[in-house]
Structure 1
């Protein structure tokens, strides 16, 4: 993903604004609407160590005729959560630094939003979609492009969750961080979880074998001592 993020940052205009935007989707498995809604007061960004994002909702483009206020955008609560619910998501130190650099460079909007377009308004799906498509074209090989690797920005969320699972994070914790049920996680990542399960089985088997060797060694030492006493 590093190649793609770098290709985003190098694009003139909106590119530098969107590097951390896409990073949120990958490192925190955030939905695009949640990234658009992210405010500075929802971010715990220490100078060292892991940070935390306290997500509370998302901004969706509904159209004036579909909102009570007549506004184009509407703020929704977290998906499948109570209106006042929040979802804390830890983020690694590397991405904490990326977010800090983004805020230092671009600031925040008057209402505290971390991400904005060049005019200070909401980031639009068409805009970040175009930027992502260009980044893929710039850095991916023909084979990678044909495979559909990270074809949509939303695929970054899937990639982030997959990386957590591959790293050995408990599926229930992955589901909690991603804001989805464990049932949905198992349904969408069943094939990937099969591979993780096999890896877990190998680790357990290795531990059993190691424990067996340790236990056998302890038993041998104990037997030798008993014989010496006799």
Structure 2
């Protein structure tokens, strides 16, 4: 059943049930009959007049309940704060931990402008922290927040707009403007604005689904999404010689560096994401004595924080990104890297659960830890000009360099996409970038061709 404008309303009729007189109002919405009994005919006539007014005003009726859709929305109207929490609760069970942080971040950004009064508004940073860490973190709803947080959230509850107020383009524009600004007053990255708008659009769609809004009001705003740069900056991509120098600089940092050399090698030689390399286990590795080996990847462990995972562990238990659960990605690795992994296992052994890489206490490798090692390697291996540039600024840039090397070596994009764990469309849009120095090689080839025909 849905909504319809086909409504027929009959005159009120008197009834006597068990010696008592009552008035019955009967009407039909679509093919569904409805009736309502009132104590007096006056009350029944009043309700009949309300329904007739809605019909004459061209309002749609809900066939299941028999009442104007407007009335359903009025019954279901809640505050924006309550709706945001309902949305978080709806999304939480199936959302990865990282997605949960994005949902909370978006709602915490939007909520401060969705209030009817700013009188007594808490400090923006305090307000943001209370919303992000408590109001929109479903895992903490069973906990009693600190007194200060409770006061902040009570203020939000008192001053939050009703959801019905969102059907106003000017309100929507205020929310979109909030997405473009950071707490420090600087402009937010275009990718962040785009992500938050997408989440908020979905939250408004949930309001339509819950019959709290007649339509998604975000589409009524003439607002251009800031353009995002999807492609990788070629300036961040190292060539093979630079990659070797950087890995050597990692190994030169003592026991910790020697242990992480193969970790960074996984990113450069097999295009693993850091979270995939964190979870690489001995059973995932096929390492023959000679020739090419293969990594059989079956999952990842991205670090999100204890408060956002179902297990309470700081690392989320995930399958491969953008792949069905339990799918395995098979990545061939060159002989020299196969030998590197064999040497790593021989020198460092494996964790009780089979992991190749671990902290000194046996835990999962932390981004803060390997990030420090990588920063020191860059300072040692790169020239001052290169160090000041985006060249390999992040360990993740090694993955970009690997995929770029495969593409520039002439490997079929379909095969590159399969190994990297991407669709071909995403691969060509994001990763098809030139190696450092490839421009000079291209120029030399053009010069050679021109000289040939001189």
The two structures have a TM-score, normalised by structure 1, of 0.82
Q: Larger Rg: 1 or 2? A: 2
Task: Find the counterpart in structure 1 of residue 67 from structure 2.
Answer: none
Within the candidate set 166, 190, 194, 2:408 is matched to 166
Matched, 1:91 2:330: no
Q: C-alpha distance in 2, partners of 1:191/1:7?
A: 25
Gaps of 5+ in 2: 1-242, 450-454
Q: C-alpha distance in 1, partners of 2:289/2:283?
A: 16
Q: C-alpha distance in 1, partners of 2:381/2:304?
A: 33
Higher helix share: 1
Matched, 1:143 2:392: no
Q: C-alpha distance in 2, partners of 1:13/1:191?
A: 34
Task: Find the counterpart in structure 2 of residue 189 from structure 1.
Answer: 431
Q: C-alpha distance in 1, partners of 2:430/2:310?
A: 34
Contact 2:301 2:316 in 1 (8 A): yes
Within the candidate set 37, 40, 58, 2:279 is matched to 37
Within the candidate set 353, 364, 385, 1:122 is matched to 364
Secondary structure of 1:90's aligned partner: strand
Secondary structure of 1:73's aligned partner: coil
Contact 1:17 1:117 in 2 (8 A): no
Q: C-alpha distance in 1, partners of 2:400/2:281?
A: 23
- Pairing of 1:61-100 with structure 2 (within 5 A): 61-100=303-342
The CA deviation at 1:70 is 1.5
Higher RCO (C-alpha under 8 Å, 6+ residues apart): 1
Q: 1:67 to 1:20 in 2, by over 3 A?
A: same
Secondary structure of 1:14's aligned partner: helix
Cα displacement string for residues 144-170 of structure 1 (whole angstroms, at most 9, x for unaligned residues):
112221110000000000111111101
Q: C-alpha distance in 1, partners of 2:316/2:432?
A: 34
Secondary structure of 1:97's aligned partner: helix
Cα displacement string for residues 40-87 of structure 1 (whole angstroms, at most 9, x for unaligned residues):
001000000000000011001122221112122222000111111000
Aligned length: 198
Within the candidate set 342, 348, 357, 1:106 is matched to 348
Cα displacement string for residues 186-226 of structure 1 (whole angstroms, at most 9, x for unaligned residues):
11135549x89xx8xx9xxx9xxxxxxxxxxxxxxxxxxxx
Deviates more, 1:122-131 or 1:55-64: 55-64
Q: C-alpha distance in 2, partners of 1:189/1:15?
A: 28
Q: C-alpha distance in 2, partners of 1:57/1:191?
A: 27
Task: Find the counterpart in structure 2 of residue 56 from structure 1.
Answer: 298
Secondary structure of 1:4's aligned partner: helix
Q: C-alpha distance in 1, partners of 2:311/2:264?
A: 29
Contact 1:42 1:53 in 2 (8 A): yes
Cα displacement string for residues 95-117 of structure 1 (whole angstroms, at most 9, x for unaligned residues):
00100000001101001111111
Deviates more, 1:140-149 or 1:167-176: 140-149
Task: Find the counterpart in structure 2 of residue 180 from structure 1.
Answer: 422
Task: Find the counterpart in structure 2 of residue 17 from structure 1.
Answer: 259
Give every structure 1 segment of 4 or more consecutive aligned residues whose post-TM-superposition deviation is greater than 3 Å: 189-193
